[in-house]
Amino acid sequence: MSSRTAFITGASRGIGKAVALNLSQAGYRVVLAARAIDKLEEVASAIKAEGREAYAIELDLASQDSIKNAFAKTSKEFGKIDILVNNAGVTKDGLAIRMKLEDFESVIRTNLTGAFLCCQQVLMPMMKERWGRIVNISSIVGETGNPGQANYVSSKAGLIGLTKTLAQEMASRNITVNAVAPGFIDTDMTAVLPAEVKDAMLKRIPLARLGSAEDIAAAVRFLASDEAGYITGHVLDVNGGMYM
């Protein structure tokens, strides 16, 4: 059992949940953070039932106080956080010409500012330890753009810029900062799409299938490991070849 602790945002479902389960299986102690504390408790219980350590904590990325409190409680419980996975994200889609300022700013606040504030909470302790891993979950659309998602795309492209900057600032302390950019993943969000939309999507993916949350979790697990110690500032595309 590793003595390392991984903090995962948006861990109540989808990609975040898959990352939490995967890192737990790899022997890390996992801290599951999201707004839906009841769902987090379910995931934590499943992990504990297998004899591994998990801790659920309420976190609202739109609130700086909530972020500070969540990390303070975690530090009290476990000491240092070795791995941070910034996965939580929200969408409020609409064409730019009609997008309300509040819809633009609230998505940026959660997806980008929230991730930045989480990074700030772990950087100093990681610098003291001279070891750390930060993995930011971006998106294929942060690299390609996507109509109707000016706010979401801006937040995900911003995460890539944040990743590269922090990678340069932290490299001398043996802290790596990388991003994973998922393509179209089979989650609750894509499950509700009409069949014709899904078919059109699959035609654009050379591997001819949607990705799974586990595909993303495997990439995160690698970047969080000692084996990935010479990789930093990188964006790992996990998209079935849809964007190269």
The pLDDT tens digits of the residues spanning 137-157 come to: 999 999 999 999 999 999 999
Q: Domain 5-236, CATH 3.40.50.720 — does that match?
A: yes
CB within 8 Å of 197: residues ≥ 6 apart:
none
Q: What is the pLDDT of residue 192?
A: 83
Q: Is the dihedral of CA 40, 70, 182, 141 positive or negative?
A: positive
Q: pTM for the whole thing?
A: 0.97
CA dist., res. 147 & res. 135, Å (int) = 26
State the average pLDDT for the chain.
96
Domain ranges of the chain: 5-236
Residue of 195, 201, 205, 156 lying closest to 179 (CA atoms): 156
The pLDDT tens digits of the residues spanning 59-107 come to: 999 999 999 999 999 999 988 999 999 999 999 999 999 999 999 999 9
Residues in the chain: 244
Single out the catalytic residue among 28, 55, 152, 243. 152
Query: Hunting for tokens 């801290």 — which residue is that?
Result: 31
Q: Is 152 one of the catalytic residues? A: yes
Which pair of structure tokens corresponds to residue 32? 């599951």
Query: Hunting for tokens 């078919």 — which residue is that?
Result: 199
